[in-house]
């Protein structure tokens, strides 16, 4: 394979098949930042060969203007703005506008957007009845996935994905209603009455209100906790072409409605290698039990036969540090201080594990660092949010990212149905043998 770009000509890559005189010259594409990318669309037509990249470690599945990650430098940008600045200076609603629309809103646009999102926070009363159909011990992710998918049955007026206004209303509905569904999934599991959304509160405050308030008592907002919740939402709002976002895009490429696509994203997020990791971190810390057991646990993680992973460590893209983890760690200390929690054994254990792992050659040589989920679970636990709700909360935050990516996909004229190829390694053609002859 050779690459050329001389005399103002567009850069190309030439691939030559060994042992033949056949070659294909393919365009080399450049984004605004990030590595160059070979456009292989004509490869099969010209050379009759596919590319192989399980896990898509070197494959760009789309062109996007939303989020940029430089995993080696630990950089995360939403529409060009560093996550650190957004986490410190912005809030979730403004970030949601930024992700969806591409620019920061002016005061009027922000006000309008906030109103549009809050206007849609209530659920159709018949959706309420769905909850009764679930077992009390149902995982809230199962409820979220089911009820979000079912929204399509209620909003026939915005299922035409080719109509920009309908896409916009679907976006508002999803961003506004997912927190209500999430909070009700929790209330259902603990047998408390559902709390209807309060549109006088901010997005994060309203979510905490629906989770924690009860009709019998007044609810008091704690600004430090709602700020921490807002920050968690900002940090998780989008993350480029991760597994759940790619799932949303793949479903969207078929022309499926937005509610179905987001339900697909929620399903993909549920896995412990992805959004389920913050839940898994707390389970892991609880299983380890005490700091004395950490060295034994680390030995187990390093043993290839054990299949044990240090949850909350490692990332497909970040091979230096996860910038969100840094902010999360600071927020974790703020929340524990606000709540007067001086000795949190889980935090002590997490910090000790981080210290040991960052000195251990196994983790250093594989560039494994704490990811966003290593600390988020401890914050959420301190805020009284049960472990089973952690991934749900992640889904609440990521909904805006999924919707932005879905909208970008639908508005991209080059989009086609997603349809990967394969290396077939099964039996070659053979004749059927009746059961009596086998
Ligand atoms: N603990 C122990 N070893 C690990 C871990 C871990 N958490 N993560 C990766 N490794 C090892 C692998 O076993 C592999 O070792 P090898 O080269 O000796 O075979 C090496 O590091 C490279 O790992 P890969 O599996 O190639 O990394 P990949 O990019 O495929 O996986 C993933 C990334 C899924 C995040 C992985 O690091 C992991 O499972 N981490 C724990 C789960 C987790 O925290 N997930 C949250 C991700 S962030 C998010 O979704 C918000």
Dump the DSSP string for 314-341: --SS-SS--HHHHHHHHHHHHHHHHTT-
Model pLDDT for residues 211-228, shown as the tens digit of each residue = 999 999 999 999 999 999
Asked if residue 6 has pLDDT above 70, the reply is no
The Å distance, Cα 313 to ligand 1 centre, comes to 7
pTM of the model: 0.91
Residue nearest to atom 34 of ligand 1 (CA): 273
Kindly give the interhelix angle for 390-411 and 164-190, rounded to the nearest 10 degrees.
Answer: 170
Model pLDDT for residues 40-97, shown as the tens digit of each residue = 999 999 999 999 999 999 999 999 999 999 999 999 999 999 999 999 999 999 999 9
Residue nearest to atom 2 of ligand 1 (CA): 309
The predicted structure's pLDDT at residue 1: 66
Q: CB count, 10 Å around CB of 387?
A: 16
Report d(CA 42, CA 19) in Å as an integer. Answer: 21
Element (H, E) at 96: helix 92-101
Residue nearest to atom 12 of ligand 1 (CA): 366
The Å distance, Cα 371 to ligand 1 centre, comes to 10
Report d(CA 260, CA 258) in Å as an integer. Answer: 5
Report d(CA 79, CA 119) in Å as an integer. Answer: 26
The Å distance, Cα 365 to ligand 1 centre, comes to 13
Of the pLDDT bands very low, low, confident and very high (cuts 50, 70, 90), residue 310 is: very high
Report d(CA 50, CA 163) in Å as an integer. Answer: 35
Give the tokens for residue 361. Answer: 């050659």
Residue nearest to atom 19 of ligand 1 (CA): 304
The predicted structure's pLDDT at residue 7: 63
Question: pLDDT: is 148 or 282 the higher one?
Answer: 148
Within 6 Å (CB) of ligand 1, which residues are found? Answer: 273-275, 277, 301, 309-316, 366, 368, 371-373
The predicted structure's pLDDT at residue 378: 84
Of the pLDDT bands very low, low, confident and very high (cuts 50, 70, 90), residue 115 is: very high
Three-state DSSP class for residue 29 = strand
Three-state DSSP class for residue 313 = strand
Strand partners, 67: 78
Q: Could you list the active site residues?
A: 315, 373
The Å distance, Cα 314 to ligand 1 centre, comes to 5
Asked if residue 5 has pLDDT above 90, the reply is no
Three-state DSSP class for residue 69 = strand
DSSP annotation of 157 reads: G
The Å distance, Cα 368 to ligand 1 centre, comes to 7
Q: What ligand 1 atom has the least distance to the C-alpha of 275?
A: 50
**Mutational pocket test of ligand 1: of 238, 313, 314, 361, the residue with most ligand atoms within 8 Å of the beta carbon:** 314
Task: Label residue 301 exposed, middle or buried (CB < 10 Å: 0-12, 13-18, 19+).
Answer: buried
Asked if residue 343 has pLDDT above 90, the reply is no
Q: What ligand 1 atom has the least distance to the C-alpha of 322?
A: 48
Instruction: Collect all residues with Cβ–Cβ distance below 8 Å to 294 and sequence separation of at least 6.
Output: 288, 349, 352, 353, 356
Question: pLDDT: is 342 or 229 the higher one?
Answer: 229
Residue nearest to atom 39 of ligand 1 (CA): 273
Instruction: Collect all residues with Cβ–Cβ distance below 8 Å to 254 and sequence separation of at least 6.
Output: 417, 418
Of the candidates 255, 271, 249, the one whose C-alpha atom is nearest the C-alpha of residue 402 is 249
The secondary structure of the chain in percent helix, strand, coil, rounded to multiples of 5, reads: 55, 5, 40
Length of the chain: 438
Strand partners, 431: none
Task: Label residue 424 exposed, middle or buried (CB < 10 Å: 0-12, 13-18, 19+).
Answer: exposed
Instruction: Collect all residues with Cβ–Cβ distance below 8 Å to 103 and sequence separation of at least 6.
Output: 79
Asked if residue 394 has pLDDT above 90, the reply is yes
């Amino acid at each position: 394979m050779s690459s050329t770009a001389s005399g103002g000509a567009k850069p190309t890559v030439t691939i030559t098949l060994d042992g033949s005189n056949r070659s294909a010259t393919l365009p080399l594409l450049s984004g605004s930042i990030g590595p160059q990318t070979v456009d292989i669309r004509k490869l099969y037509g010209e050379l009759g060969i596919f590319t192989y990249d399980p896990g898509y470690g070197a494959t760009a599945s789309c062109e996007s203007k939303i989020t940029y990650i430089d995993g080696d430098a630990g950089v995360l940008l939403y529409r060009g703005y560093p996550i650190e600045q957004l986490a410190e200076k912005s809030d979730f609603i403004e970030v949601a506008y930024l992700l969806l629309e591409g620019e920061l809103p002016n005061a009027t646009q922000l006000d309008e957007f906030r109103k549009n999102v809050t206007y849609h926070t209530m659920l159709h009363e018949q959706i309420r009845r769905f909850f009764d159909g679930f077992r009390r011990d149902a995982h809230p992710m199962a409820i979220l996935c089911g009820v979000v998918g079912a929204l399509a049955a209620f909003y026939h007026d915005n299922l035409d994905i080719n109509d920009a206004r309908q896409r916009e209303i679907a976006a508002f509905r999803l961003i506004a209603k997912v927190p209500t569904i999430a909070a009700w999934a929790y209330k259902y599991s603990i047998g408390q009455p559902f709390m209807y959304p309060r549109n006088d509160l901010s997005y994060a405050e309203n979510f905490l209100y629906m989770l924690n308030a009860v009709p019998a008592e007044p609810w008091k907002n704690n600004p430090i906790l709602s700020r921490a919740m807002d920050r968690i939402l900002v940090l998780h709002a989008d993350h480029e072409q991760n597994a759940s976002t790619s799932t949303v895009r793949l479903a969207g490429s078929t022309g499926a409605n937005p509610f179905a696509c987001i339900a697909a994203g929620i399903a993909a997020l549920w896995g412990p290698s992805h959004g389920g990791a913050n839940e898994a971190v707390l389970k892991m810390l609880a299983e380890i039990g005490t700091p004395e057991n950490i060295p034994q646990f680390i030995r187990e993680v390093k043993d290839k036969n054990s299949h044990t992973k240090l949850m909350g460590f490692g990332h497909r893209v970040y091979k230096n540090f996860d910038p969100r983890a840094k902010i999360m760690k600071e927020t974790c200390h703020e929340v524990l201080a606000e709540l007067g929690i001086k000795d949190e054994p889980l935090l002590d254990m997490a910090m000790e594990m981080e210290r040991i792992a960052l000195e251990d050659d196994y983790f250093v040589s594989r560039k494994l660092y704490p990811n966003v989920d290593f600390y988020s679970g401890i914050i959420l636990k301190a805020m009284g949010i049960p472990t089973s709700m952690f991934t749900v909360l992640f889904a609440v935050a990521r909904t805006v990212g999924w919707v932005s990516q879905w909208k970008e996909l639908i508005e991209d004229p080059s989009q086609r149905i997603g349809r990967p190829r394969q290396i077939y390694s099964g039996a070659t053609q053979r004749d059927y043998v009746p059961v009596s002859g086998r």
